[in-house]
Chain A
């Protein structure tokens, strides 16, 4: 699954509607940035899409969802647990296979944290943890990426590096971003969310930063 076509997206929290009802169609090859002020419903929308595509997407949630007690290697390896038999996975817990080690090491190299391969994620900094969650999403090898503020804890150069990598590895993506410049630079479609509704939906070529800032 690369693109999707969803209708009647809606979510309520405590009896109050936070999203929708709205419809959303994303074609294969589109890099969508979700923008809008905090509390507008971006995170909820991402989760909603993830549910509706029944998990057939790589997800980077805001809270990352890392297993703190496991090393970086295993947290990334978890992206492909479904591809191996139980015995293979169990053995990997004890002693990973060379092939997987090599693959994950080279992925970490792209994320600039090769030396952290065997460090438990609990002892990493916020930015490093975020990159582990991104690593897991990339390793997942899905056609669609759903990411909620994936670069919020990364400094400038690293943020650009990660966004480049994400665009390179995922044909299609929906990424919630609060950084308007980044959105315009790396995505080809911008969707603005306001009070749970789509307030803006344009190709990024036709937008400037000022157009988007109206949403805030």
Chain B
């Protein structure tokens, strides 16, 4: 038995010295914020990876992450070089990585909207503005780092009521993602929720929403949202003009099935300056220092 003791400790010592295999030098890696059900995301972005690989002559790999912050951190840490960010996560990421730039956005992202939805049992009716009727209800955001599911709804709640969401609603939660927000409000776990209008419209079209249980009660004014952001040092790493080639590839993406999965009708050029309004709102709310 003492023999085993010695053996075990020797092995433990060996383990420390064992280097972890990591041989993926020139793979171009990208990620995306987990704003929807993961199965859908994996399906969508594997398609994008294949498409980019065919256009860029490098290995392209998509890695799924569990939170918005993880997407931003991976981008910041140069473990991914490209990311499909929301408005807020993009602003955070570009603030942390000097030289990084917004490459392209969806046609719909220029004028993005957040929908406030409510369980029908609350009796809340659609209206042109956020009314006092929502006071005292339970409310869920999407992810803590989401633009359409957190930042913009919080901004509008504060603007309308002059109070923090915790004071307006009896209970405030974070569902995690937009699909989940629909499920939770549908089930009555929360009475009111706020989410990305594209996710709502797509699920509505797919017929996965029980419209007897949940309805839209308010639509926010428009704001810029999702965009592809790339690191500033990719040209040095993958060759001169790589950034332009990635941008070109994204703008020329016209596979209808792939676009439908986003869902976007196409991609158009975007710049860092397009997202100034988002940065200002984030600072106002205190999410950005």
Contacts and interface: CB of A to CB of B under 8 A. Distances in A.
- Bind each other: yes
Interface of A: 69-70, 90, 93-95
Interface residues of B, number: 4
Contacts of A94: 2-3, 6
Contacts of A95: 3
A69 B1 contact: yes
A47 to B, nearest CB: 30
A90 B3 CA distance: 10
A79 to B, nearest CB: 18
Closest 5 CB pairs of A and B: A93-B2, A94-B3, A94-B6, A94-B2, A69-B1
Interface of B: 1-3, 6
**Interface SS of B by simple majority:** helix
Name, among B1, B2, B3, B6, the residue most crowded by chain A CB atoms within 10 Å (CB to CB).
Answer: B2
B5 to A, nearest CB: 8
A174 to B, nearest CB: 34
A108 to B, nearest CB: 20
Contacts of B3: 93-95
Nearest to A70: B2
Nearest to B5: A93
A15 B184 CA distance: 74
Contacts of B2: 70, 93-94
Contacts of A90: 6
Contacts of A93: 2-3, 6
Given A93-B3, A93-B6, A94-B6, 7 more contacts: A69-B1, A70-B2, A90-B6, A93-B2, A94-B2, A94-B3, A95-B3
Contacts of B1: 69
Nearest to B3: A94
Contacts of A70: 2
10 contacts: A69-B1, A70-B2, A90-B6, A93-B2, A93-B3, A93-B6, A94-B2, A94-B3, A94-B6, A95-B3
A95 B2 CA distance: 10
B108 to A, nearest CB: 71
Nearest to B1: A69
A42 B143 CA distance: 78
B8 to A, nearest CB: 12
B131 to A, nearest CB: 76
A128 B3 CA distance: 25
A84 to B, nearest CB: 16
A94 B7 CA distance: 10
A93 B2 CA distance: 7
A129 B248 CA distance: 85
B210 to A, nearest CB: 66
A75 to B, nearest CB: 13
Nearest to A95: B3
Name, among A69, A90, A94, the residue most crowded by chain B CB atoms within 10 Å (CB to CB).
Answer: A94
Nearest to A90: B6
B2 to A, nearest CB: 4
A109 B60 CA distance: 74
A182 to B, nearest CB: 38
Contacts of B6: 90, 93-94
A9 B1 CA distance: 43
A94 B3 CA distance: 5
A93 B3 CA distance: 7
